Structure formats: C-alpha cells, structure tokens
Amino acid sequence: MDGDTEYEKVEDVVGCHVEDAVTFWAQNVDRCSDLVKLSCALAEACPRANAVFGKPDFSKIYGGCFSEDRCWYRCMVQQVINNEKCQVLYIDYGNSEVLSRSDIVEIPPNLQSPSVAKKYRLWGLQIPTDQNLNMFDQGKKFLSSLVFEKEIRIRHKAKHEDGTIIAQAEFEKTDIGEEVAKAGFAEKCTSPGNTKDAEDRKVDVVQNQHRKIKVPVPLWVNRSDHALYSIPRGRLDQVAASARNHNITGNLMFGPKEKTLACTSVPDTSLAQTRAGQKLSDEKEILRKENLNLMQRQKELELKVQELKCELQKEKEASRKTAESFEETLRTYIGTKMRSLAAKVKSLKEVRHMNKNTRSGEQLSQAIKAVTEGCLTAPCSLEKLQKIWTEYDLAQDRIQLCRNVDERDELITKRDEVQRNLYSAVEELILEVDQLPLTERSRTLQELSASLEMVYGQGSEADDSEEVFQQFLEWKSGKMKKLVCVRNDTDTALQILADWFGGILKCFDLMSEASSDLEEAVSSADEILKKVELAICEELDADLNEHDEAEKRIIMSAYNKVVHNIRQEQSLIAAIQKRYLASVEFKKQVEEWLNRRPDINNLSSVKKTVKSLKAQLRWKLVEKNNLEESDDYSECEMTRIKEEIADLRNRVLQEISKEQEEYEKLTYLVQKWFPELPLLYPEAGILNYMNSGGLLACSLERDLLDAEPMKELSTKRPLVCSEIQGQKVLLKGYSVDVSSEAKVIERVAKYHRAWDQQKEKSGLLQLLFLLFCKSDPLIYLMVPYYPGASLGALQADTPLTLEETLTVMKGVAQGLQTLHGANIVHGSLHGNNVFVVNRKQGIVGDFDFTKSEEERAAANTMVVSTLSLVSPELKMGQPASPASDMYAYGCLLFWLCIQNQEFGLKEDGTPEVDVVVMDDKVKSLLVNLFCCNRLTAEQVLRADCFLTVGATPVSPQPGEEHEPCEEPDSEKTDENVIN
C-alpha cells in the first residue's frame, strides 16, 4: 500500500456505485463533461469497431455494450468465463457484468484514457467477520443512501496497491464512515491502513453466508439500481451470479409445473390463460423498452445538469474575478489612465522625431526622380558606330579568309573605305561622350543603389510599366495628406488637454483669486482624455513606417522598378565607356595607318643582313677547317679565326633577334589591322611564324651554332648542346614528314602559349626557338639546359628534405595546373622530366611533341625506382587525362617522401600509403591522389601541406654550374640511353 501518495488531498466527487458497506465508486465533479464526450465518441466508434476474439488483454480498455440499455461504455476484461462470455468492469462507473464477446469491441487510442470513476474505501473501517449476507446487502443499501448520486467531499488517506483509495468521506459535514459504523454495518480497524486483510475477510463472509443461505439476487431493470447492487470482483461476482442463476432456474422449473397443474384441472380455460399471458408479456416488453428509453434520457439529462452546474460554477468564478478586477481598476483609474496616456505621448514623440527628416517613401521618391529626370540616354552616334564597327570586323574577316588575289584587292579597298567611315564615327562618339558626365552619373547610381538596398533589401523582377511610379507617387501624396490631418487633430486635442490642465491648476491654487467652477471643469475631463487618447492612437496607427500588404506591394513595385532602371542605366554607361575606350585606342593607333600601308622592308633588310653574316660565318668555318688540315697550322691564326667566328655568331643571333621583333610587329598588324599582309608578302613566312606561336626562327640553322653532340645521352634522336648569348641550350631533333610537321608545330605552339600566359610563374620549361634543318627532315626545338638538375639525378645525389620537397612539388603542381588549364595532358611526367632550380623551384619539362598523350604515357620511362607512374586506368586501356597526370604526380611525391622505406602495392598497382611513415598532411594528400576521384592540380595547390610553402618563383639560370648528374631528357631511361 502506498500510504504517502497524495496524502490529505481533498476532492469533490459524486457516488456512482457501491460494492459493500465500506467500498464505493465515485466520479470527480469536474469530469462531467468528459463523460458526455466519451459517450458521444463511443456511440460513434463502437458500432463500426471489431469485436474481441482470442485472448483479451486484461490491461487494455475496450468498449462494452451494456445489456440493459444497449449503450456503449468503456470497460476492462476481468475474467474469461468461457469461449463466448467474459466478465467486464465498466471503469467509468464501477459496476460489472458478464458480456458476450460480440458485445466487447476494440476502441481507438484516443479513447484509451484513465477511468473517470475511482474506487474508494472508508478510512478506518472493516466488515465484521461474522456478518451474514443479509447484513451485507443492508450495509450496501445504507452506504448507497449516503453516497449514491450525491456530491461528497473526499479526503485521501492512503492508496492500495490495486488503486483503491483509502479516504475519509463527508456529506454536508456528516462523516459517512462514522454513520456506517454507528449503523453496525462495519467496525473499526485495529490498523486503519490494513485494508487488504479487511477486504479478504469481506469476501470470506459473503462466501460463508452463501453456503448457508440461498438468497435470490433480484433482476434489475434500472441502470442505477444495477450499478448499485452489482458485485464487481472475483469470487464475489461468481457468488452473486450463482445465486442469480440458481434463483432463475428454480423459477423456470417452478413455473411450468404450476401451468401443468392448471391445465389438468381446468382444461377449458387454458387457451384463454395462454393468450392473456402472451398479451401481458408483450405489454411488459413494451413497458420495459419505454423504461429503458426513459432511463437513457434521464442519464443524459443528469449528465447535462452536472455539466451545466460545472459551467455555472466557472461562470461564477469568472464573474467574481471580473468584479474584483473592475474594483481594482476603478480604484487606480486616474493613475493608470495618465500613465497610459504619458506612454503613448512618449511613443508619439519618438515616432515624430524619427520621421522628422525621413518622410514616408521620401528616399524612394528622390530615387524615382533621379532615375527618370536625370537618366542618361545612349549617344546618337553609338548605334551608328556599332553598326560601322560590325561592318569593319566583317570586312577584316573576309580579307583573312580570302585566297583569291583578284578578289583580295577589292576587299582591301572596301575595308579601307569602311575604316575611314569608322574613324569618322569614332571621332564623333568621342566628342559626344566627352560631354557626358559618365563617371559622376555612375557614382551617383552606385550610391543610390547601395542606400536603397540598405532600406529595402535585394530587388526582384520589376514591372516594365511606367504606371508603377505614378501609382507610388499618388499613394505617397494621399498618405502625406492623411498624416497631416491626423497630426493636426492630435495637436488640437493635446492643446485642449493642456488648457484644461491650466484651468485645473487655477481651481486648486488657494492663492489664486480667479474664480472657477471646479465641478464643470472636472466633468469634462473624461471626454477630453478620451479625445486625446483617440487622436494619439490614430496617429500611431498611421505611422509612416507601418504599411499594409497593398501599400507594401506599391512600395516594392516602385523600388524594383527603380533598381531595374538603375541597372539598365549602369549597363548603358558601361557599354558607352567600353566603346569609348575602344574608340580612343582605335583612333590613336589607326591614325598611323590611315594614309599609308605597312610593308616588310625592315624584315627584308634584317634578312639580308642575316644572310650576309651567315655567308661570312660559313666562309670562316671553311677557313677554320682548312687551317686545321693545313701543314702551315698557326695557333695565333686559329685563335683569330675562332674569335671572328664567335663574333659572327653573336652578330647573327643579334640580327635573328631583330628578325623576331619584326615578325612580332607584323603579327600584331595582321591580327589587329592588316590581315592581308600574309597574302601580300607570302615570301616573308608570316603565317608560319604565327602558327608556331612565335617560336619559328627561319634564319637560324643548327650548322651555324657551335653545337656539341650529346650521343651518350640519346641514341634515339639528334641531341646537341650549345650556348647562345651566355645561356646553355639543348637542341632536340624531331623527325617529321609533310603530314606530321603541322601537327608537331601545333603542339609546340599550344605548349608555348600556355607558358607565355604566366611565363616564369607558369611552372613550365620555356621553349626558346623552333628551327628547320635544310639538309634533313628534322625540326629542332631549342630549350634551356639544366645539367644535373633533374629530380631523379638530384634525389640520387643529395635527396631533398621534406620542406624542399614540398616547395619543389608545389611548383610542379603549378606547372600541371597551367597545362591542364590550356587543355594539355602532359602524359610523360617522371623523375627525369622534372627540374629543380636551386632546390627551391620545381619546373615541369617538355615532352615528345611527335607523340600523342597515350603514346607518351606508354613509354618505358614512366617509372621511378620500382614504382610505375602509369595510372590504373591507363593500364586498362583508357585514354590519358589530367587525372593520369595527377596520379604520376602523386607517385613522384610519394617517392620523394618515403626516402628508402619499403612499401607494398595494392592489386591495382597503387602504393600502400598507410604503412609508411610520413607527414600526416602529405599522407592525406596522397590518399586523394591515388583514389579514383583524384584531386585536380588546382585543388592540390590548396592542400594543407602546401599552405605554408612559399610560392615565390626563382628565375631559372640554366648557366649555373651543377654537379654532373643524369641528363634531364624526357625520353632518357634509367640507363641514360634513349632507345
């Protein structure tokens, strides 16, 4: 027993069922409305619900159809009698009965709430052990007369384990427990809390008495009587049921006997008696049904009365609180009224101060004025200029595509005419734009846009209709007129209030001699205060910064239109400025060529000089060879000849540099002004120079250079080393034919253009010259020579530290980013094709321009130590890609970081990164370079391990002395031989 739970709790209840002289069920008076709602919900849900089959859940709440009124109530199964019947307890009333399984149904979860009725037991009482069944029934009736359908007050004392509440009950200051004890139906407990033993004794008494006496249990037709006399639990129900069944059985057996005797003695009257009995039975059935209907109606009315009582009680309580509130309000009315009025006046002052300089929509009105009245329009000459410029560009394109000499001259003449027209239009535009305040207007629009965005936020799509501005201005005008009227009314009301206060002061000034009618002055106070409050509230409601939805739509439509106009005008200004700058540049440059045409005289002069110097150089070389073979060999003469040869070589190279400059000038003129130059002077080879990206040196020949063959480094192609103007260079020879020559030049030019975008910061090896061999089908590519500076040679001699490795490999990643950005796949990145300058900068070397990406990637040079640099997808036959370059890059970085550590390979050939010891950031980077979805070069440069590495490029100095190491030829194998 939980004796401390809700101890001394007091509640008002109405008795609804009595079990014995000390036990009853009751409903809290506040739960009346719950019963009505439950009844309606059950009446709707239960007829459609499923009946209970199988083993019922004794802890679950079901719906049960009460046998006497056939209405639905909530119940719990107490005992399974047989396969067809169960004993149930109606949890909201306390009575119980035996129902067929078809009358017990499932109810929805929202009706699975705790019971409305609770079971109570009188505090300190128990049923005597020797009480007979007659006294037991009389005790039930006596307690029923005290509690049934009466509002009693319950004071909780303890709680039994089965939920029974041990309580003290009172009805109109009468202790019900004492009345039961006085009547002799119960006795005082030796231990008031020991209710379990008392209840056991009660059941034993009933059972013992039942063994001795057969007491017929009446059949009740009234729901309330049935609730009063039913015995709900365990064996006691069985006793009552047995007695009831026994009595009924006896009656049924007795009835037929009496009827048999009557038939024997009076046979003539048997038919009449049978008919009369049948009629009486029908009338009884009709009366029973009418009685059931009346009982149902009575129950509904009782519930309605209880509900109305509760509502009346609540209304009384609310009325009481309202009256108290009114009394408090009246007591402090003047102070409350003045405080409220003062707070509203303060708010009004703040609103007026805030709107003093910023009236409603004033900023937007000024913006509308700015974008409409001060709007710039496109210069008249702009459209004309754009039309002529388009015609000029078209004329240039036609000349560039022309291959017919006769048509060429006509196109040039037409282009010159259009050029003169364009020049006139350019001058006209420049004069017109110089008169426009473009800069000031652009700044004004920018400031206006920023200030409006701070107030109204980001703009959205605007309506093109000009009525938007007119609608806004009309709304603003009406808003301001209304505000002026409202403010005037407020000022008038406040002035009247101030005058009234002045009169009141005189009334209460004992020193004042002015006579005043205090009663008249005070009588008007309520009206004056009311008018002031109404005026202030109206002005606050008309606050300029508060708008309804319609007003907000008007404002935002106007704002979006302003933003649209601002952006439109800014775009126009940007277009005018762009065309103006282009026009100024065009006018400045074209003036030189209006009355004359460019020619190749300077280029021809340089070529003649080069040709003369080359002839002298060849003669000196022959003279040197003759002297070497002569019997009259003179060392002094040989020295003189060598000096003259060296001087001639330098002069040739200087003139070739001038030749390159002239080609650059002509290239610029072709691209910018005169696309016809290659057609007019085909002998100059301008297109060949342009197609090579500016690398082609037509006058430079390998035989004129002091070249030293590098046979020990390459057996696959001619490879010679020379020196030009103090810089060591390598000349790589590529065998080409008519079909492959253009492709090789295209690849070389594409690589060179990628380098030219960033030059030293590109991370790529510079290409110096491209020259043809007159005697053999060879193309020579001249590149800087870094003896002993290849990554493989350096690592074999003096390995890089981790910091140096990261610095170098960051430069290599930069080179790969440059190539991949130009849509070039290297395909041949290995230890002999990456150069390290001063141990501070990594440079990506060139590759074999005669091979495709796939052919370069398949070369046997793609290995470092025992690690293959070929990615898994290349091994599976997929084409080379930037991702395969990044795999080779990752392998090189892995090789540099592990030093001499042993490592394993996975099934796909990628190295095992987790088993080696290295920096965690580097390891994380390598994992992302060996996976399927590899990082790009740009992402690698943002890796954590490179964030602290300096990015300042070191200018390559190929002439610096390095320790002799392996030759960094891109095709050289580990055996230093090109196959």
Secondary element (H or E) of residue 159? strand 151-159
263-272, 276-285, 641-650, range with the lowest pLDDT: 263-272
Confirm if 795 and 742 have CB atoms less than 8 A apart.
no
pLDDT at residue 230 in the model: 36
Pairwise CA distance, residues 246 & 166, whole Å: 35
Beta strand ranges found along 785-895 (DSSP E):
834-837, 841-844, 863-864, 867-868
| Strands (DSSP E) found in 327-393 | none
H or E stretch covering 788: none
Rounded to whole angstroms, how far apart are CA atoms 774 and 614?
14
**CATH superfamily, with its number, for domain 791-946:** Transferase(Phosphotransferase) domain 1 (1.10.510.10)
- pLDDT reported for residue 412: 86
Sign, CA dihedral 141-145-147-150, equals positive
Determine what percent of the chain is predicted with pLDDT higher than 90.
26
**102-106, 369-373, 471-475: least confidently modelled range:** 471-475
What mean pLDDT is predicted for residues 704-722?
Answer: 76
Going by pLDDT thresholds of 50, 70 and 90, the confidence category of residue 221 is: very low
Q: Give residue-wise pLDDT tens across range 590-649.
A: 887 777 788 888 888 888 998 888 888 889 888 888 888 888 888 888 888 888 888 888
**Residue 698: pLDDT above 50?**
yes
More confident: 378 or 318: 318
pLDDT top residue among 359 and 687 = 687
pTM of the model: 0.53
The confidence score (pLDDT) of residue 961 equals 41
Residues with Cβ < 8 Å from 32, sequence gap 6 or more? 303, 306, 307, 309, 310
Question: Helix 362-373 and helix 549-590: axis angle, to 10°?
Answer: 30
* Structure confidence at residue 329 (pLDDT): 76
- The CATH classification of domain 10-263, taken from the options 1.10.357.10, 2.40.40.20, 2.30.30.140, 2.60.40.10: 2.30.30.140
- Does the pLDDT of residue 267 top 70, yes or no? no
For the cut 60, the answer to whether the pLDDT of residue 879 exceeds it is yes
User: Averaged over 658-663, what is the pLDDT?
Assistant: 88
| pLDDT for res 813 | 94
pLDDT above 60 for 200: no
**Nearest Cα residue to 555 out of 367, 374, 354:** 367
pLDDT band (50, 70, 90) for residue 521:
low
Please give the pLDDT value at position 470: 67
Residue 269 has pLDDT above 70, yes or no: no
Q: SS3 breakdown of the chain: % helix, strand, coil, rounded to 5?
A: 60, 10, 30
Report pLDDT digits (tens) over 41-74.
Answer: 999 999 999 998 888 999 999 999 999 889 999 9
- Residue 948's pLDDT band (boundaries 50, 70, 90)? confident
Taking residues 817-829, what's their average pLDDT?
93
Q: What is the mean pLDDT of residues 199-205?
A: 49
Q: What whole-number distance in Å separates Cα of residue 37 and Cα of residue 39?
A: 5
Domain 10-263 shares a fold with domain 791-946: no
Average pLDDT along the chain: 80
The domain limits of the chain are: 10-263, 598-681, 791-946
Measure Cα distances from 778 to 618, 713, 732, 733, 757 in Å: 21, 19, 10, 6, 28
Helices (H), 435-466: 438-456
User: Residue 205: pLDDT above 50?
Assistant: no
64-78, 233-247, 729-743, 830-844 — which is least confidently predicted? 233-247
Q: What are the Cα distances from residue 375, in Å, to 438, 439, 442, 471, 568? A: 11, 13, 11, 20, 10
Backbone angles phi, psi at 723, to 5 degrees: -135, 130
**Closest Cα partner for 945 from 899, 900, 897?**
897
CA distances from 312 to 27, 35, 172 (A): 19, 18, 21
pLDDT(359) > 90: no
- Which pLDDT does position 633 carry in this prediction? 80
Identify the three-state secondary structure at position 298.
helix
- Select the more confidently predicted residue: 835 or 261: 835
pLDDT at residue 697, rounded to an integer: 85
Q: How far is CA 785 from CA 317, 701, 966, in A?
A: 105, 19, 12
Residue 262 confidence (pLDDT): 33
Does residue 847 have a pLDDT over 60?
A: yes
Ramachandran bin of 819, using left for φ above 0, alpha for ψ from -120 to 50, beta for the remaining angles? alpha
Lowest mean pLDDT: which of 72-76, 535-539, 801-805, 926-930? 535-539
Q: Using CA atoms, how far apart are residues 200 and 576, in angstroms rounded to an integer? A: 107
Mean pLDDT of 946-968: 51
For 391-419, how does the pLDDT look when each residue is reduced to its tens digit (9 = 90+)? 998 988 888 888 777 788 888 889 888 98
Provide the pLDDT confidence category of residue 252 given band limits of 50, 70 and 90: very low
